Amino acid sequence: MSLRHLAFCMLLGALLTACSPDEPLINSFDDRWRLVLSNQRGEVLVQPIPADAGAVLAWSDVADSSQHTLERFRDRIYLLHSRRPWIVVFDADTVRALDTIDLGSAPAQSIAFANATTAYATIPTQRSVVVLDLTVNSVAHSIDMPSRPMNIAANGNQFCVTLPDTNAVAILDSRTRSVERVIPTAAVPWYVGSDPNSSLFCIVNLGSGKVDANPASAASVQFVDASVRTISAALEITPRSGSALQVVPTGLAVTSTQIAFVSTQFGLFRVSLRTRNRVSPTLTEKFSSIVFNDARAELIGQVSTAQGAVLVYNNSTDALLQRVPVTSPATSMVGIPR
């Protein structure tokens, strides 16, 4: 046997040994992540996904159980306390509380982010939107609103705020820190989200008779173009069986694929932000809250039962990917890497 042939055989043997079945295969795709949720007991829990281990308590305000809201922005998670004038700031990796933003005398309902250093939060009881300096975690400015503000979303330097008491939305500009336009809507605009691929805001109107004593009107979806500040005609949310007058929206999730999902007591509805011509029923599952996990293109929803579970769906196929049991219904959810 030649030396060259012998060297080749030795190299081949070494490769076969290295690829022995006893050695673990290296998989560069890790399908594990974590679900951070607040619940009706006032807790913040971290649940590994897949749920091969129990949830870990990260923070609690059980003595003042509330409907907390969680929002993630970059490397932080912000908890909006619904009863106290607090926004608790968490590290998005460790889920450890780092700081608390003192809002003064009233709690925030909703928050949106202008950039890495500035956020805007609605204060319904004070009819104001506060500007937050995230470099020092404090209130930097307050903007008076024409009526009670509810939810807020950002699209570049434009912000859209729902004003349910006056059937309108307000457009704010972060460069001027002021209300620049008030646009009439259908009855009781409540939820708002922004399309990251365009200048559109998606508005979900509850319709009258749901949170007020007025005669019932249909729930609907409208679109505001922030570049020209115009609004589309209302698209009614009509269930497969029943009337649009009966529909009560419970949440809105706008995806990075230009699809908006609206949760209701009749199930989940879908509307395309490209065509914007109809609202279509999709899943029959009833959710009390929903959120889009952009990093994984997944829709996460809390089932509307006494306890229920948090369900995770594929955004494109509506396939159920995970069912996460919960001991207390989630009021808000965000996804983070494991």
Q: What is the pLDDT of residues 256-274, one digit of tens each?
A: 999 999 999 999 999 999 9
pLDDT at residue 16 greater than cutoff 70: no
Percent of the chain with pLDDT over 90: 81
Considering only CA atoms, which of 95, 293, 148, 98 is closest in space to residue 87? 98
Domain ranges in the chain are 32-59+290-337
CA 282 centroid distance within chain: 19
Mean pLDDT of all residues in 176-201: 98
Query: What per-residue confidence (pLDDT) applies to 241?
Result: 87
Q: Distances in Å between the alpha carbon of 144 and those of 124, 137, 329?
A: 11, 21, 34
pLDDT at residue 141 greater than cutoff 80: yes
Lowest mean pLDDT among 53-67, 70-84, 92-106, 141-155: 53-67
pLDDT at residue 139 greater than cutoff 70: yes
Alpha carbons 3 and 286: distance in angstroms, whole number: 73
Per-residue pLDDT of 31-69, as tens digits, reads: 899 999 999 999 999 999 998 888 999 999 876 667 899
DSSP 5: H
pLDDT at residue 280 greater than cutoff 70: yes
pLDDT at residue 28 greater than cutoff 80: no
Residue 22's pLDDT band (boundaries 50, 70, 90)?
Answer: very low
Of the two residues 61 and 115, the one the predictor is more confident about is: 115
The answer to whether the predicted template modeling score (pTM) of the entire model surpasses 0.85 is yes
Query: What per-residue confidence (pLDDT) applies to 20?
Result: 42
Query: What per-residue confidence (pLDDT) applies to 307?
Result: 64
Query: What per-residue confidence (pLDDT) applies to 7?
Result: 53
Mean pLDDT of all residues in 141-145: 98
Edge to edge, the sheet with strand 152-155 lists 152-155, 158-163, 168-173, 178-184
Alpha carbons 136 and 299: distance in angstroms, whole number: 33
Mean pLDDT of all residues in 192-220: 96
Query: What per-residue confidence (pLDDT) applies to 31?
Result: 80
Per-residue pLDDT of 86-102, as tens digits, reads: 999 999 999 999 999 99
Residue 131's pLDDT band (boundaries 50, 70, 90)?
Answer: very high
Mean pLDDT of all residues in 79-91: 96
Lowest mean pLDDT among 186-195, 247-256, 260-269, 308-317: 308-317
Query: What per-residue confidence (pLDDT) applies to 9?
Result: 54
Q: Chain-wide mean pLDDT for the chain?
A: 91
Enumerate residues 6+ apart whose C-beta is below 8 A from 11. Answer: none
* Best-predicted range by mean pLDDT (13-17, 30-34, 79-83): 79-83
Considering only CA atoms, which of 178, 142, 184 is closest in space to residue 164? 184
Q: What would the two tokens of residue 106 be?
A: 């009233």
**Does residue 87 contact residue 78 with C-beta atoms inside 8 Å?**
yes
Query: What per-residue confidence (pLDDT) applies to 147?
Result: 98
